[in-house]
A and B are shown apart, each in its own frame.
Chain A
Amino acid sequence: MCSSRIFGEVKTSKQYTVGSRQSCPCLLQSAYCQLISMKNWLKIVAVVLLVYVHIGGLLFETPRLNILNETIRALYFHVPMWFGMVLLYLLSVYYAIKYLRNPLHDYDTKSVAYANVGTAFGILGMITGMLWANYTWGSPWHGDPKQKGAAIALLVYFAYFVLRGSLNNEEQRARLSSIYNIFAFATMIPLIFIIPRLDDSMHPGSGGNPGFNAYDLDSRMRLIFYPAVIAWFLIGLWIVSLRVRYKTIEEKILESEL
């Protein structure tokens, strides 16, 4: 990672420039510049795709299926949330591993930001799923294995934030939460991917119900579904980069005030 290397240099050079206020704006700027990890065109792509997904997802034709009917459109908004959550958590774990290999403060900030946004995606996925379940299954909470698995996955990351909250030493907090992040993620995988498949589930895509990749996801829906996944994921990355930048600038300001 190029940006992290630069950041490392910034951190080391900081040690002998502390106290001299002149270097601060320059440091701020360099930190600011290299932390715009997301290219502008990607943001534009995300926004354009999302506009397309909202228009297309609500207006385009979908296959008629029993029970599902129009609620099939939830696919465009519900499933990308889970995809986004898993991908963001994966990135969070990636930075946690990087932190353990090379303890730079930057990695920790990124890891937390990814976990934060991943959790937000998870909660949104839960809400959209419950909305959908209300109309197709009859009640928002149905005790479906997938719902339970998802709820537990969210609990893992709530526990992660509690752990971070209860450690005062900054370095210790970063290291221990990285360890827990990796450990929890690795034990969460069996939960959301294996256990629901052992059980009968009413969730589309399992237990013989129509779902993903089955006959109902025809080419018309793919046309919207794939852009939706990409767009939501890009939005997630965007929020993460904003959070990381915000955090970094906040820390810089705090440092310059000291």
Chain B
Amino acid sequence: MELLKKEFVLELRRKSVISGLGLYLLSIIFICYLTFNLRQNAISPNIWSALFWLTILFSVVNSVAKSFIGERRGALIYYYTIASPQQIIFSKVIYNTILCLVISLAGYVLFSIFIYNPVQDQVTFFLTLVLASIGFAASLSLISGIAAKANNSNVLMAVLSFPVVISILLMAVRVTKNAVDGIDRAASADELLNLVAINCIAGALGYVLFPYIWRS
């Protein structure tokens, strides 16, 4: 996919954006660390997973938001002439998935450095990260496309995405709780399947609905 390659090239070219995102993540986690002012098992696993997913949510919303909002008008018209809307949303979703995954992995590493790492079942946890990243990317890309058309797009992005993303977030928090406690994997199979189902719904809807956004 040429478009996918272009996304990566563009992203790597804009070094300031990437470092900005990294710094954003770092400062959020550092603020968490400072405000709780505690180390090592001082916060319960529940609070840990809540903090973790909140951090991931805010960084992801901010980073995916610019996938359409940041684009210049000329660039959009140029894409319009060279590719079909399906290809564009597809490349955006794949790119955003990878971006979300990188952000959540970085967040995970930073969390284990600054706070601590209570996760016992790593495989389930990583699976959750991957599935949640796909879900975030699929739903937020579409929302970003909608928000980009409005006036105060950044505020709107947060307002629109919050209710849509919350079902993914709830599932992810639930599985994280299981993974932290090291409960048998069969216990979280239901939630993981639900995550897959939500991803499928979000992906399919994005695929069907995006051409209508694109037309304007």
Asked if B167 lies at the interface with its beta carbon under 8 angstroms from chain A, I say: yes
Asked if B213 lies at the interface with its beta carbon under 8 angstroms from chain A, I say: yes
Name the CB-closest residue of B to A148.
B170
A187 engages B213 (CB within 8 Å): no
B152: chain A residues within 8 A (beta carbon): 166
Asked if A253 lies at the interface with its beta carbon under 8 angstroms from chain B, I say: no
B163 engages A184 (CB within 8 Å): yes
| Tally of A-B Cβ pairs under 8 angstroms | 88
Q: Which of A64-72, A125-133, A135-143, A168-176 lies at the binding interface? A: A168-176
> Measured between C-beta atoms, what is the minimum distance from A201 to chain B in Å?
14
> Measured between C-beta atoms, what is the minimum distance from A107 to chain B in Å?
13
B209: chain A residues within 8 A (beta carbon): 100, 179, 182-183
Q: Which of B142, B166, B197 contacts A183 (CB 8 A)?
A: B142
A168: chain B residues within 8 A (beta carbon): 151
B197 engages A190 (CB within 8 Å): yes
CA–CA, A184 and B149, complex, Å: 18
Residues 156-212 (chain B) with a chain A CB within 8 angstroms = 156, 159-160, 162-164, 166-167, 170-171, 174, 190-191, 194, 197-198, 201-202, 205-206, 209, 212
Contact with B along A201-242 (1 / 0, CB 8 A): 000000000000000000000000000000000000000000
User: B residues touching A (Cβ–Cβ < 8 Å)?
Assistant: 139, 142-143, 146, 149-152, 156, 159-160, 162-164, 166-167, 170-171, 174, 190-191, 194, 197-198, 201-202, 205-206, 209, 212-213, 215-216
Taking A163-B156, A171-B216 as given, write out 4 further A-B residue pairs in contact, using a Cβ cutoff of 8 Å, ordered by the A residue number: A159-B160, A163-B146, A187-B202, A187-B205
